[in-house]
Structure 1
Amino acid sequence: MVEDELASFGRRGTVTVVPRSARGLSLGGDPARLLLHPVEDFLPEPAVVDRLADAFTREGLTVEARSEAGLTVSGENGLVEEVFGSPVVPVRNKYIRESVRYELCAPGTLRSRLHPELITEVRAPRAGFELAPSAVPPLPHTAGYLRLPEDAARLAGADRLHAAGIRGDGVRVVMVDTGLYDHPHHRAHGYTTAVVPALSPLDPRSDERGHGTAMSALLLAVAPGVSLTMVKMAGEAFSFPVAAFQRAAQLEPDIISCSWGTLREEPHLHLEVAAAVRRGITVLFAAGNGSTDRRNAMFQSVATPGALTVGGVHVGPGGELRASDLASSYRSAVFPGRTVPDVCGPCGMLPNGDYIVFPTQPGCLFDRRNSSYDGTAPDDGWLVSSGTSGATAYAAGVAALAVQQGIGQGRALRTEDLVSACLPVTQGRSITGDDCGGVCPNHAVGHGLLTV
């Protein structure tokens, strides 16, 4: 319940702590500095993170998540104010109208009285938003829906690999999303899954929004043998992307899949992502369903160099490929020279993206919302949708099959590792106005539809 979450996070504050780097460099508000210096120039000595974690714990605070780049710390707001100079309290987001969303903010200046010499910045964490088409009046359905797992495996060409025993076995995948409900669909297919909350107040047994449950089913359709851990970053009203990504990196997976963006800029997230890629973790982010990384935009996509960005391609009933007019493409405003997307996964078209039948938590936010136009009931645990969220989950499954086959040789996968497996897409236009122009690669779809 939103009221319970509001009460919990009203009592308990959460902050992001950025340690001082060993070489004195800081991203500050300019993530583009990652283009000028190696990632390690922005990282602290390992002992610094340990020292800060110990100090905060002794003070009675909880270190919710930590990485080599930073920490997420929480505690009763009286204690947070005592240690960091201000409480961190919920504020209603006035711009998201289809659901109730809150963010955290600090009324006063945040600074640590513990080891200030070791800390560059303390800040209230930005919220995240899961990517899904907006609810608009439906149009008549003109094409059949894709069913999981068989249609996703067929589109990827993965069914042939599955028959040969290449199913993602031994590959560790973490999905950062809204949670993972214990759905009969997942049980029926024998998937290996676990759930870890990004913050202790988040209930790992529930997926109040339902987005993560749906996305996990698409990833597992392509790579059913992976060991999948869901890091739950959100309840119904609050979300914590940086803490969740830190928690994901702590698990030391092969792949981290992220079908979401952030509300407003979150510069420190780019350092967390770059540090994970440096450690050999393949990181995927959705290109967005209309969002970009323009710095004045409310909804921000994530295009950290080294991460794989995933756009959308619609596969018609006859197999024809077309850039999805629901999916974003753009030239990064944060990282000059960076173009998005790198590759694409399957994605529906405007207005609703009705394309793939997903399992979800019965009665969750997306089950209720999508039922107004997708032909399912508001409490049946199924929805029809798509977007670059699903495209990213699909691409993460393809990446898992690549990792099992030794592609990348233990480092993070790069775009060039996957180019030969992309089908060219030469027709269509993205939601942000890029036209394929009869050639591929192109700005609308990058290198095209990723397959195995």
Structure 2
Amino acid sequence: MSAAKTEDGASRRTSRLRRHLAISTHALRQRPVNLAITFAPADPTVPGPTRLGFAASGASLEQLRPDPLRMDMALHQLSRMGVSILSRGSFSASAQLAPDNFEKLFGTRLSRFRTRGDRPAFLFPHDGGPWSPQDDIARLIDDAYIQWPATPMTTPPAPIGAFGPDRVYLPNDLANLLNASGPAVRGMSGAGVRVAMVDTGFSLDHPYFLNRRFSVLTAPGADGTRDRDGHGTAMCANLFAIAPDIDFIGISLGLPDGSVPIDALHGGILLALAHQPDILVLSIAYDLRSDITDLEAERLPGSCVALALQLQNAVARGVTVVCAGGNGQFAFPAMLPEVIAAGGCVVDAGGEVRASNIASGFRSNIYPGRTVPDVCGIAGSLEKQAYLMLPCPPGSWLDRSCAGLPDGTGVNDGWCFTGGTSAAAPQVAAVCALMLQANPKLTARDIRSVLNRTASDVAFGTSSAMTGGRAATIGNDLATGFGLVNAGACLHLI
């Protein structure tokens, strides 16, 4: 591969970053902001969910449940004030509002912000700035937070020389590594199990998805189902490698210009849950890292409260939620105690399984006693970022950027080598689908228990240095949780 092609790949990555940075504040103010609206609990003696002073858990969830009729009345009044209501759940609603109108209704000023990593700019009230909602607004709702852009939990394209011959090809290699092929899975293929995924988009006309059962929808606040980024298409391929006959629902967060601000995640999750999935998988996360200490923040940001309530309620209602545990991030929503957090492992050419030094491993400050991850999938490592061969839309950012480094694939061939806990989460979710096909009566708690009890222990390697570089040891640990998910053992136990 020529040096010119390598430089071309680097320039593409730079161009992508510059495209995000080049969005002017004026241009941002021409776009509506996506809001997550929370409501006061039905019990007037209970503080609203953003005013609790602590992160709600399953035990306090019912105390925070709003009255549905009051929610209806509030949403009706908000719509008369110019707020576009996009979707609603049991605890929150997704909405859009022009920045100027947001400032007027909430008595504030919006400033330009950027979060960590290669994420686009967005508008948000400045710390310490004015916040004085109109009286009518204050009576109707608990709060309304502009949604920050989230981050796909895939690895960045690998540098030259960071991969060897021991790569993982889908579907067979991955199925073998997770004991999800042949007699071990007893003919289970995920048939009849509905799995939803919210991501950058899903261009499932790729030959890899031929004869698969899927539908793709656009999240409220997004525009279009096509996946110009490539992340959603590539990561959902892991589902079909383990559970090829699932009924898949993809919720797209993409925009028509190819950018993926992913600030429509809350609305996308509400839409996904409205379709009553058995399993919801998220390979996108927020990094709740303090800008002051560079460690995990001490409290849940108000902008994440609505999302936390909806996911906790989904689990209480029987949905199994699997989240990427992070690639060096203090990942939310993986840190929610109710969800299954997927960490990462890497398998060398000799078959030894090690903790991935890409994947996060941490003990949460926000949710005391919660550790991430629970179990692991196959994610690669810093040395082997170009690890899993995944299908992606030809010419998408992922296709072009990975090939430009190079990874051995073409810039427009619809294949890329990558990894991360973005891939591990759908792998774990697919094993959950096999279990639900075998025994539809399993609860989310049952599934978590079976995953933990049957995972193959990993006692070598360390997790990401960005979250403390935890060492894998015998038994449950902060590097790999209970170990690498084992599909055959799960099915044998149930």
TM-score using structure 1 length: 0.88
**Is 1:256 the counterpart of 2:292 in the alignment?**
no
In the other structure, the counterpart of 1:18 is 38
Q: Alpha-carbon deviation of 1:234?
A: 4.0
Q: Any idea what SS the aligned residue of 1:450 has?
A: coil
After the TM superposition, which segments of 4 or more aligned residues of structure 1 sit over 6 Å from their partners?
A: 1-6
Deviations 1:356-375 (A, max 9, x none): 11111222222222221322
Q: Alpha-carbon deviation of 1:110?
A: 6.8
**Is 1:433 the counterpart of 2:485 in the alignment?**
no
Q: Alpha-carbon deviation of 1:415?
A: 2.5
Go from structure 1 to structure 2 and tell me whether the alpha carbon gap of 1:140 and 1:434 turns closer, same or farther (over 3 Å shift): closer
Q: Any idea what SS the aligned residue of 1:228 has?
A: strand
2:162–2:385 Cα contact (<8 Å) kept:
no
Q: Alpha-carbon deviation of 1:380?
A: 2.2
Q: Alpha-carbon deviation of 1:341?
A: 0.6
* Correspondences of 1:59-98 after superposition (within 5 Å): 59-77=81-99, 79-81=101-103, 83-85=105-107, 91=112, 93=114, 95-96=116-117
1:195–1:229 Cα contact (<8 Å) kept:
yes
In the other structure, the counterpart of 1:101 is 120
Q: Quick one: which amino acid aligns to residue 309 of structure 2? A: L
Q: Quick one: which amino acid aligns to residue 400 of structure 1? A: A
* Structure-2 separation of matches of 1:31 and 1:242: 22
* Correspondences of 1:265-414 after superposition (within 5 Å): 265=301, 266-268=303-305, 269-292=307-330, 302-351=334-383, 353-371=385-403, 372-406=405-439, 409-411=442-444, 413-414=446-447
Q: Quick one: which amino acid aligns to residue 323 of structure 1? A: A
Go from structure 1 to structure 2 and tell me whether the alpha carbon gap of 1:194 and 1:312 turns closer, same or farther (over 3 Å shift): same
Residue 68 of structure 2: which of 46, 50, 54 is its match? 46
Go from structure 1 to structure 2 and tell me whether the alpha carbon gap of 1:164 and 1:415 turns closer, same or farther (over 3 Å shift): closer
Q: Alpha-carbon deviation of 1:159?
A: 2.1
Q: Quick one: which amino acid aligns to residue 101 of structure 1? A: P
Go from structure 1 to structure 2 and tell me whether the alpha carbon gap of 1:87 and 1:61 turns closer, same or farther (over 3 Å shift): farther
* Structure-2 separation of matches of 1:342 and 1:410: 17
Segment of structure 1 superposing worse, 195-204 or 225-234: 195-204
In the other structure, the counterpart of 2:6 is none
Q: Any idea what SS the aligned residue of 2:47 has?
A: coil
Go from structure 1 to structure 2 and tell me whether the alpha carbon gap of 1:362 and 1:331 turns closer, same or farther (over 3 Å shift): same
Q: Alpha-carbon deviation of 1:377?
A: 2.3
Deviations 1:178-202 (A, max 9, x none): 11013323442x1111222222442
2:158–2:385 Cα contact (<8 Å) kept:
no
1:323–1:429 Cα contact (<8 Å) kept:
yes
Q: Alpha-carbon deviation of 1:446?
A: 0.8
Q: Any idea what SS the aligned residue of 1:354 has?
A: coil
Go from structure 1 to structure 2 and tell me whether the alpha carbon gap of 1:334 and 1:291 turns closer, same or farther (over 3 Å shift): same
In the other structure, the counterpart of 1:148 is 170
Residue 174 of structure 1: which of 181, 190, 196 is its match? 196
TM-score using structure 2 length: 0.81
Question: Any gaps of 5 or more consecutive residues in structure 1?
Answer: 294-299
Q: Quick one: which amino acid aligns to residue 444 of structure 1? A: A
Go from structure 1 to structure 2 and tell me whether the alpha carbon gap of 1:116 and 1:419 turns closer, same or farther (over 3 Å shift): same
Question: Any gaps of 5 or more consecutive residues in structure 2?
Answer: 1-18, 289-300, 488-494
Q: Alpha-carbon deviation of 1:27?
A: 3.5
Q: Alpha-carbon deviation of 1:154?
A: 2.0
In the other structure, the counterpart of 1:296 is none
**Is 1:447 the counterpart of 2:447 in the alignment?**
no
* Structure-2 separation of matches of 1:317 and 1:29: 52
Residue 229 of structure 2: which of 193, 209, 223 is its match? 209
* Correspondences of 1:227-242 after superposition (within 5 Å): 227-235=247-255, 236-240=259-263, 241-242=265-266
* Structure-2 separation of matches of 1:329 and 1:411: 22
* Structure-1 separation of matches of 2:29 and 2:234: 26
Deviations 1:216-256 (A, max 9, x none): 11111111111111112344241122222222222221111
* Structure-2 separation of matches of 1:304 and 1:448: 19
Q: Any idea what SS the aligned residue of 1:449 has?
A: coil
2:195–2:249 Cα contact (<8 Å) kept:
yes
Deviations 1:269-320 (A, max 9, x none): 2222211111111111111111125xxxxxx563101100010111223332
* Structure-1 separation of matches of 2:24 and 2:203: 18
2:154–2:419 Cα contact (<8 Å) kept:
yes
Q: Please report the RMSD computed on the Cα atoms of aligned residues, expressed in angstroms.
A: 2.9
**Is 1:191 the counterpart of 2:212 in the alignment?**
yes
* Structure-2 separation of matches of 1:447 and 1:367: 33
Q: Alpha-carbon deviation of 1:173?
A: 0.8
In the other structure, the counterpart of 1:422 is 455
